[in-house]
Structure 1
Amino acid sequence: MDLIDLAHITPGTTELVGGKAAGLGALIAAGERVPDGFCLTTEAYRSGAVPERAVRAAYEHLGGGPVAVRSSATAEDLPDASFAGQQDTVLEVEGGDALLEAIRQCWDSVDSERAVAYRAGQGLKAGELAMAVVVQRMITPTAAGVMFTANPLTGTRTETVVDAVPGLGTGVVDGTRDTDHYVLPGHGPLPGHQDHGCLSPAQLRDLQQTGQRVQRALGSPQDIEFAYDADGTLWLLQSRAVTTLFPLPPGTDPVRGDPRVYLEIGHMQGLRRPVTPMGVSVLRETTRRWLQIVGVDDAVVDQFLVDIGGRLFMDLTGFVRSPRLRSHVPEMVQVYGPGVARGVRRILDDPRYAPRPAGPGQRAFSAGGTARLLLAIVPASLLGALRALARPAAARERAFHELEQVRRQPLTEPADTASRIRAAAGQQDATMTGPMMRSLPPLWAALIAQGVADGLLRGVLRPGELNATLRGMPHNVTTQMDLELWSVSEAARPHRELLVSTGPDELAARFSRGELPEFGLTAFLEEYGIRGSAEIDVGSPRWADDPTPVFAALTGYLRVSDPEQAPPARFARAAVEAEAALADLIDRAKRTRPLRARCAGFLLRRSRELAGLRELPKFLWLTPLAEVRRQLLTAGADLTERGLLEQPEDVMFLTLDEALDAAHGADLRPVVTGRRREHHREARRRQVPGLLLSDGTNPQALPDDAAAEYGPDVLVGQPAATGVATGPVRIVHHPSEARVQPGDILVAPTTDPGWTPLFLTLGGLVTETGSTIAHGPTVAREYGIPAVICVPDATTRLTEGQVVTIDGATGLIRMHDTEPLSHRDGSEQGAVPETPPAPS
């Protein structure tokens, strides 16, 4: 079929007519007013020749005269890729010859530079796309524009946004004209100030109602192009899903539901990409079991771990509405970054979140439940923290003993698939309630010591000075791991040319086939193969599964040529500098408050003896989590052999309960297919809100006046590791993709221990999310690497190779208009962190 009338397009024909035509067909089927027209299908495009006679006949049947000719690609106007403006539209086309030429222009636009670049960014190849062309009777508008049925900037689903201009709407679409801008409530009366511009209040009400009607019919928020003709008639020219909106929280009604607020917590563990469904299920089950053991209602899990778009959120509504707690919430969330704290303060001013007595939705965090939780944790933890402060060496010995106990736990082999899945569900119980809890007091002791010392030195401390005392921290399992990998790289230097000239993915493949020389990596992976990026997601590969990130780090190590910049030397230097900074700080404080200074000095030195254990509880947890993964993948292999899954890894796109259903014979392959598609779509999402309201609003998307005062060449984030460094930007979205040079400024969405091998040669670290107590910034401090976190859109606002100076004490990033340093001097060494001047 080469041609089809728009009115005859049926659902499910996108591969034949493309996304735009499919959307127009849906509008017509919903009873909306759409200009008459026809579609030249993808079958004609694939044949390579325009069916001229059929096109001319259809054009004459349309009545001739001016028409609009629009591209309609098969990968266009889809739920996860709009392709807005990537292919051509030709307006005011009149005559058969001009129409044929416009069709060929639309076909040719498939290979335009902008379309090719967009497809590459979406992970689509040219062969995956075919082009249909829509031809419609041309409307001569008095006013036209674009309407979004949800606010595309803030995500608010209860607002309709309209931009319009007199005459043709191309000035709105291509951004060449100033527009009349309207923000309308999704329902209800219009604000009184909307009586301006080219649209009347009556037309705005008409658009508002039409947009909501179309959204209901098409099932999601829509981006609609519209035009009003000389008779005042509204025509819809196009409708496509708004692809940039973050998903709504499950089970919420943005219009009539009880307003709620959610805090994204996954990035604290380096989870910026979506968590697999099994990963969420295991985390929820582990949390539920732990709460049951300590005597707390496991309904808390429903609010503590909320899966939104594959990311982990916590429901903060009970805290925000609590008359006693609400004023403390901005301070409570400050650890997640200044943007989150600002967003919470905005929420507190919103009358929808006014304080009120606890209702059913808040009872999970009731006083009784909180009291039971605190009684189960605090007394033993406080006693353990005091013991650790008194005898830090003994506390470290006890903590590492717990690690060895967990590692020596015997493995079991359940008898059947269902038993494996049940065993996986409870695999972590003993570790989470025993060794892991007993390994935490030294960390709490260090945090208490730092907090008290901070208070004692208030008025003496300078920005970043407390962080300077935490550099080069001993007894950190992640630091030790990274330094051991450095030792592996030293043993690999005879093979440097091979390792540096071959891509990490190819090296990993050769390693798995036994084709690489042995230089100690096998032993390293036996010890640390349970680690990886997003490692608390049981569905995420470990280094033992795929050592590509390890080879990426090794390649960076092998480029270090200056012995003074070798990681052991840098780490040792950081420790010396920290001790010097601590001594200088205490000496200065003694001049005005000698007793406080001595107490603070004692606490900070105790902190240095204990804070390195920060990484131990999580590392301890990874051993049973690796066994959970092994059991689930073995179960997945069994289900694959029985024809119930396509491949063993598919089990990670089920929940624990669903996996049990599969073990009992349920064919869940269609479920897996849909979940994989959703997971891959969300994995391409670059921006995830730190706060999210139940109506879709991202409070952090509102303008930040504080950042504007520094000017366009400065980005503002949260100080995380003191020091100053200048170097070229290296943007990395996953550690396996890293191609870092010594001295580079690593810019990433987030980091976790799976990233830290890259830190050893960095000049500095910048992340879009994080917390000063999260794994990445902690390790950065210990290496003496300046770090700035919580920098909004850092991976898009900075460019590869751009030279920046980051200040880890102030949180400022200054952009320089110069070529990259590593290119200027012609060497591999790049920039190195600058040691801040000693306090005077």
Structure 2
Amino acid sequence: MKYIRNFQEVRKEDVSDVGGKGANLGELFHAGLPVPDGFCIMGNAFDEYMHRNDFDTQSLNHSDKLSDSVASGQFWAELEQEITECYTALGQNIRVAVRSSATAEDLPEASFAGQQETYLNVVGKEQLITAIKKCFASLYSVRAVTYRKQANFDTIKVSLAVVIQKMIESEVSGVLFTADPVSQNAEQMMLNASWGLGEAIVSGRVTPDIYIISKAKKCIVDRKLGDKDILICYDTTGVEERKTQAEQRNQFCLTDEQALALFEMGRKVEQHYGSPQDIEWAISKGKLYILQSRPITTLHKTNDIQQKLNASQKAVLNNWIEHCPIPLYPLDVNPCILVEQAKSKVFHDLGISIGGELSMDEKGVLFFTAGTLHISPRIIKIPFILSQFTNYEVNSSNTNCAFSRIKKELHKKSMSDVSHLSVHALLQDLRELMNVSEEIAYIRFRYNIFPSVAISKLLYPALHRVDTSINEYDLLSDLPYKTWKMNVALRQLAGYINNHNELENTIMGLKAADNSTLTDLQNNHPEFSDRLQDFLNEFGWKSSSSYSAFSSVSWFEDMTSLLPLIKVLLQSDKKTTSNNKYQTIHAKIIKSFSAKKASKVIKRIEEIRGYHVNREESLYLIEMCYGLARRIVFELNLRFPELFEQPKDILFLSLEEVYNLSGTIEDYKRKIATRKANRPQNVRLWNSLSLGGKLNDQNTLTGISGNRGLCRGKVKKILTFQEFDKMQPGDILVCRYTDPSWTPLFVLASAVVSDTGGPLSHSAIVAREYNIPAVLGCGNATDALHDGEEILVNGDKGTVQILS
């Protein structure tokens, strides 16, 4: 044929005719690998199409008009006949994917990543011809032309081929890297997998399952369960995005056998090309297919975070992962930096500069700048400064005055209707909220956390004299702080439901819930509605990820996570979290010291407890700021439909870029596309940072003691709030992390084991409240432990041993 080559006619040397994608697919086909059949429309067809239709490619200043013209051009009979014959040979009205493929030999395919188009689920001759023309036209879109101009490519000489390939209706799909691009380890492969079509992973719209496979051992050495919250599947025309069922989200989508089969296939592809490969794959009806393979071009780039980290950096990152379990989006980064800057300012006031922070580059890739400790001459005044820092009356007064003012400001903003504000007013409000969040963060660290830590260290010798087993965290028991009050309110709400059989039966009978379910419950039970609203008015801004300003969700925004919490509480017989631990410590202090000394120690302890109440209050106020800021961002998303095509697109801009939304739309679109493409790298990076804590020869995980005690019991692994109702009394809770919304699970748990966390994390504090053993910061407990396994949790040593 003059204009078309089937895959069996193409080899890797044919890039100039069929482009990089086409040449790679032909090469894989010749190597006997399982590639879905297809054909390539060569670059000469594109050149002749442009000539026959007399398109003026010199008019690049009007490339949007040129692109529209190219998309509506006419095919000549010979080309249309060849397309029809080749398409018919694939099958009767077969579903195909239509992809552009750059043909310039001196330009790597990666140079055009995201600049041309892909059309999925194309059926029938008419749809196919339309899709091919759109691929041709995409070479002259504003985005593509701007990108190539900025890269100094000669746009006029670029040609385009089109690849047409049978679509695989995959149950599972993903990407296999034959060298781990995150750790830069060529001796391991990284496998990403999710349900449905692979577009969900490639576009960065889903967090996939991740497997690390050793080439030498030929076995899986690490795995991480992704949330896989959406899947992409066939629609009547094109594809559609659906929510993944809870059962699918909470299980790995590949068996070990399938993962190792992919590993073997990856070895063959890598050996064939002689270099590490990035392979897109799919599984349909049990059969494995390769959809595309290309060289990994980033192995020479070492991400700063993946360099060796010192102990303090690891502690910082552990804290980030605990507060932001889902990788940050670009819009989340600046608010986090503001919080860190508030903390750094306090260190600076003490004469200490540490430096180093988590950040994100222009392409949306996370990195960690290593800090160096710098001591200024001001540090010689530390004894005097510390006496000021730890003045409880001053600190408490400053905190209470600021919080009183801030609460009034935030309440006023919460009552405003953002839909009636101008874009200018929305952006002004957004700036104000970010400034308030930074002020709260400074108050949190300067007037509460820092003085609390200082006093705790000073008190340690006295506490050790009273009882060597007491630590500063025990002093926070039986304390009515924000989360404690929230749990009391939740139990009261559950108690009301427990006393109304019809309402209780309805709630316990719900298998799944959405906001409409709660609305129906409220409509049918007005008094319950009033009580629920009272609860939300007090605690509704509590979110799923406290430091993820724009990608987290509060109860005000999505109430569905409340029902699993209530169902857990309805199962429990425990009525209170009090274990009288603090009263016991109080009595021991009075017995151990003179009245004067005991009074002084108890006064300091009461200060620590007061600081903790303020610390918890400050976090909730920050979450309220972020929640109100999300309302604005959601409204901005609606105001700029030409820029934000998907609900989450705005998350791929930085905060500064959102402040300047009057910027060039096409420039912003390019940034969004680039950062979407790089998000999977951040997801892999975030997950790799939380992997660790391997089982030793005695089948034992090592972590950090969150609360003392021994407990033998069975594992119940809970990864999302949708799984809360799995929890049964006496189970050992195993999770990645917990936040305050998880607290009711501790009512049922006999012990807790988590991937992240430290002595002052939510898991530790609540475990001490309920007096159950806790081992935290294990790294990969959720991978190493499985439902039903019997384990021994040793909170004294910080270990978890698998018994069966």
C-alpha deviations, 1:785-819, integer Å up to 9, x for none? Answer: 432111121001110132333232321223333xx
Contact 1:718 1:791 in 2 (8 A): yes
Instruction: Please say if 1:271 is aligned against 2:324.
Output: yes
Q: SS at 1:765's partner residue? A: strand
2:370 alignment partner in structure 1 = 316
> Do the aligned partners of residues 802 and 253 (structure 1) sit closer, same or farther apart at CA in structure 2, a change above 3 Å counting?
closer
Using the alignment, how far apart are the partners of 2:342 and 2:602 within structure 1?
A: 41
Q: CA 1:813–1:36 in structure 2 vs 1: closer, same or farther (change >3 Å)?
A: closer
Q: Secondary structure at the match of 1:631?
A: helix
Q: Indicate the residue corresponding to 2:41 in structure 1.
A: none
1:730 aligns with 2:680: no
**Match for residue 533 of structure 2?**
522
Counterpart Cα distance in 2 of 1:778 and 1:79: 39
Aligned residue identity for 1:214: S
Q: Indicate whether 1:650 and 2:649 are aligned.
A: yes
Q: Which residue of 2 aligns with 1:580?
A: 584
Residue pairs, 1:85-234, within 5 angstroms: 122-125=193-196, 214=275
Question: 1:386 Cα shift?
Answer: 2.3
**1:743 maps to which of 721, 730, 746:** 730
Aligned to 2:707: 721
Q: CA deviation at 1:214?
A: 3.2
Aligned with 1:476 (options 476, 481, 496):
481
Cα distance between partner residues in 1 of 2:300 and 2:335: 24
Per-residue Cα deviation, 1:63-91 (whole angstroms, up to 9, x for no partner): xxxxxxxx99897998744699xxxxxxx
CA distance in 2, matches of 1:555, 1:222: 42
The residue aligned with 1:632 is 633
Q: In the superposition, relative to structure 1, how do residues 528 and 606 fare at CA in structure 2: closer, same or farther (>3 Å)?
A: closer
Superposed displacement of residue 601, structure 1: 5.5
Equivalent in 770, 788, 799 of residue 801 of structure 1: 788
Q: Give the residue type in structure 2 aligned to 1:644.
A: L
Counterpart of 1:485, as a letter, is L
Tell me if the contact between 2:714 and 2:731 (Cα under 8 Å) persists in the aligned partners: yes
2:8 aligns to what SS in structure 1?
A: strand
The aligned counterpart of 2:244 is: none
Aligned partners of 1:313 and 1:498: how far apart in 2? 48
- 1:206-231, Cα deviation, whole Å (9 max, x unpaired): xxx9999835xx6x7999xxxxxxxx
Say which SS state the counterpart of residue 491 (structure 1) adopts.
helix
Closer, same or farther: CA 535–307 of 1 in aligned 2, 3 Å? same
Post-superposition Cα deviations, 1:735-775, rounded to whole Å, max 9, x if no partner, equal 34433233332222222334334434433221111221233
**Cα pair distance change 1:727/1:11, threshold 3 Å:** farther
For residues 271 and 383 of structure 1, the distance between their equivalents in structure 2, rounded to whole angstroms, comes to 33
2:766 to 776, 779, 786: 779
Q: Residue 98 of structure 1 corresponds to which residue in structure 2?
A: none
Paired residues of 1:718 and 1:789 also in contact (CA < 8 A): yes
SS at match of 2:630: helix
The 8 Å contact of residues 533 and 542 in structure 1, kept in 2 or not, is answered as yes
Equivalent runs, 1:647-686 vs 2, <5 Å: 647-660=646-659, 662-664=661-663, 666-667=665-666, 668-669=668-669, 671-673=671-673, 675-676=675-676, 678-679=678-679
Is the counterpart of residue 764 in structure 1 residue 751 in structure 2?
A: yes
Cα distance in structure 2, aligned partners of 1:127 and 1:799:
28
TM superposition shift of 1:466? 2.1
Counterpart of 1:449 (choices 442, 449, 455) is 455
Number of paired residues? 588
Rate the CA distance shift 1:708–1:550 in 2: closer, same or farther, 3 A.
Answer: same
Q: For 2:734 and 2:627, how far apart are their aligned partners in 1? A: 29
Specify whether residues 758 and 548 from structure 1 end up closer, same or farther in structure 2 by C-alpha distance, changes over 3 A only.
farther
- Cα distance in 1 for residues equivalent to 2:454 and 2:307: 41
What is the TM-score normalised by the length of structure 1?
Answer: 0.57
Aligned partner of 1:107 in structure 2 is: none
Percent sequence identity over aligned pairs: 17
8 A Cα contact 1:222 1:242, kept in partner: no
Structure ranking higher on relative contact order (CA contacts 8 Å, 6+ apart): 1
Deviations along 1:654-690, whole A, 9 cap, x unmatched? 2123335544451444544554465467558883326
* Partner residue in 2 for 1:620: 621
Structure 1 range deviating more: 75-84 or 661-670: 75-84
Amino acid at match of 2:558: D
TM superposition shift of 1:294: 11
Cα distance in 2 between the residues matched to 1:447 and 1:460: 19
- Map of 1:392-411 to 2, 5 A cutoff? 401=404, 404-410=407-413
Structure 1 residue aligned with 2:557: 545
Deviations 1:419-443 (A, max 9, x none): 5235413423245336851785344
CA contact (8 A) 1:472 1:781 kept: yes
CA distance in structure 1 between the partners assigned to 2:493 and 2:274 by the alignment: 63
Change (3 A) 1:807 1:510: same
- Contact conserved, 1:286 with 1:429, CA < 8 A, in 2? no
CA distance in 2, matches of 1:525, 1:687: 32
| 8 A contact 2:10–2:26 mirrored in 1 | yes
- Distance in structure 1 (CA, Å) of the matches to 2:12 and 2:273: 24
Q: Partner residue of 1:4?
A: 8
Shift of 1:305: 2.6
User: What is the aligned counterpart of 1:416 among 422, 425, 435?
Assistant: 422
Q: Secondary structure at the match of 2:689?
A: coil
1:3-42 mapped onto 2 (5 Å cutoff)? 3-5=7-9, 7=11, 22=24, 25=27, 41=37
- Alignment of structure 1 residues 44-83 onto 2, 5 Å: 47=91, 80-81=175-176
Q: What secondary structure sits across from 1:525 in the alignment?
A: helix
Check the 8 A contact 1:748/1:767 in 2, yes or no.
yes
Change (3 A) 1:421 1:407: closer
Aligned pair in 2 of structure 1 residues 38, 44: CA closer, same or farther (>3 Å)? Answer: farther
- In the alignment, is the contact (CA less than 8 A) between 1:77 and 1:240 conserved in 2? no
SS class of match (1:533): coil
412, 427, 441: which one aligns with 2:433: 427
Q: SS state of the match for residue 194, structure 2?
A: coil
Between the aligned partners of 1:247 and 1:795, the Cα distance in structure 2 is: 30
SS at match of 1:688: helix
Which secondary structure does the structure 2 equivalent of 1:264 belong to? helix
Q: Contact (CA 8 Å) 1:768, 1:794: kept in 2 or not?
A: yes
Against the structure 1 CA distance between its residues 687 and 398, is the aligned structure 2 distance closer, same or farther, given a 3 Å change threshold?
A: same
Q: 2:365, 2:678 within 8 Å by CA — same for their partners in 1? A: no
Give the one of 565, 568, 571 matched to 1:556. Answer: 568
**What is the rounded CA distance, in whole Å, between the counterparts of 1:756 and 1:152 in structure 2?**
32
Query: In the superposition, relative to structure 1, how do residues 123 and 708 fare at CA in structure 2: closer, same or farther (>3 Å)?
Result: closer
Distance 1:585 1:717, change over 3 A: farther
Structure 2 match to 1:185: none
Of the structure 1 ranges 429-438 and 746-755, higher mean CA displacement relative to structure 2 is found in: 429-438
1:269–1:536 CA contact under 8 A, matched in 2: no
Q: How far apart are the structure 2 equivalents of 1:41 and 1:432?
A: 56
Task: Name stretches of at least 5 consecutive residues in structure 2 with no aligned partner.
Answer: 39-86, 95-165, 180-189, 201-213, 224-256, 265-269, 282-291
Residue 637 and residue 491 in structure 1: after superposition, are their counterparts in 2 closer, same or farther (change >3 A)?
A: same
C-alpha separation in 2, matches of 1:489 and 1:247:
53
Q: 1:462 to 1:737 in 2, by over 3 A?
A: same
Equivalent residue letter for 1:41: D
Decide whether aligned partners of structure 1 residues 468 and 616 sit closer, same or farther in structure 2, where only a CA change above 3 A counts: closer
Counterparts of 2:605 and 2:307, CA distance in 1: 49
Describe the SS at the equivalent of 1:801: coil
Distance 2:739 2:300 in 1: 23
